[in-house]
Structures are given as structure tokens and as C-alpha cells.
Amino acid sequence: MTTFNLRNVKLRPGEQFRDVVEVDLEPLELGGQRYVPVPERPEAALALTQTSSGLVLELELQTRVLGPCMRCLADAGLDVHVAAREYQATSPGESDELTTPYIAASKLDLSAWAHDAVALALPDKILCREDCAGLCPVCGRDLNREPHEHEGEEADPRWAALSELRDRL
């Protein structure tokens, strides 16, 4: 886990601190599948800007996520660019919107922040290619390698009454 001690940075309003840090990234679990970031310790640009009312935190990194395609289960890789921003108010009161969950006891949890930012930057479906055909719902074969159709498919007898109704209309 990578943390950054905010007490080491003394900023006045209007000042900014910039640094490049290596961040430990944990694998992601999406849809019951494991996706591994490569590299596991990417370099990230960290920027802290002190304002009159709080601290603006910015994190930028580039990584690649490897795992199974969500349609055909073949290997898939996706380049991910993350540009995340958080805000921590000096006096947040009881508002959750003015605090970041990644700061505790003046320590910024860069690993958790980067992990969540990578997860949010991912598309809805991770595919091996844009036109992935997936797996055949009947036999389970990969439709990308063996495009085929099943002929003479028997309908489920439980739907027979609905088929008769459809034919009458």
C-alpha cells in the first residue's frame, strides 16, 4: 500500500506541490473476473494545491489492465489513462462532499485512490476487440474463431402456447 504523508508538505494558499511517485495497484475484481494492472507499480504524477478553503489533490497515471474478455473469455488488454481529482476542505463540517475518503490522519492513501480511479476509468465491458462475437449460447464455442448457426433448433415446449398465440395474431 502506497501512502503519502501530507504533513511533510507545508503549503500556503495558492501554492502547489508536485511529485512523481510509484503507486502500488491491486488487481481489480469485475463481474467475478480478475483484471491485473501492468505494471503493478506505475509512476503517477501527484499534485497538491492549497486553496484558501482546503486542499485540491490531483493524480494522473497510465496503466494497462489485462484479463478475460467479457464476451468470449479470451485474453484482453486495455490501456487506461487516469486523471483523478479530490478535494479536502480545511473545515468540512458534517458535509461528506467536502472531504475525501482517501485521507486519514494526514496520510493520503494513494493505492486506494489509484485503484478506484482505474476502476472508474474502465469501460462498461472489457473486450478482446470491438467486434467480439462472444460465445455460442447453444454449444459454447467461440464465435470469433468458428462463426456458425444452429439449424433446426427446437423451441422449448414450455413456450408452445405463446408460439400458437403468435401464429394466430
**pLDDT for res 152:** 65
CB 42 within 8 A of CB 23: yes
The candidate with the shortest Cα–Cα distance to 57, out of 96, 37, 80, 83, is: 83
pLDDT 10s digits, 115-164? 999 999 999 999 999 999 999 988 899 999 999 888 766 677 888 888 88
Regarding whether 35 and 103 lie in a shared domain, the answer is yes
Regarding whether 141 and 105 lie in a shared domain, the answer is no
Regarding whether 79 and 22 lie in a shared domain, the answer is yes
Average pLDDT over residues 100-116: 94
Regarding whether 121 and 159 lie in a shared domain, the answer is no
pLDDT 10s digits, 27-45? 999 988 999 999 999 999 9
Residue 143 belongs to domain spanning: 135-169
DSSP bridge pairs for 75:
68
**pLDDT for res 31:** 86
Regarding whether 67 and 42 lie in a shared domain, the answer is yes
Regarding whether 89 and 24 lie in a shared domain, the answer is yes
Provide φ and ψ at 81, rounded to 5°: -105, 125
Instruction: Give Cβ neighbours of residue 77 (< 8 Å, ≥ 6 apart).
Output: 64, 65, 66
Regarding whether 145 and 68 lie in a shared domain, the answer is no
- Give the mean pLDDT of the chain: 91
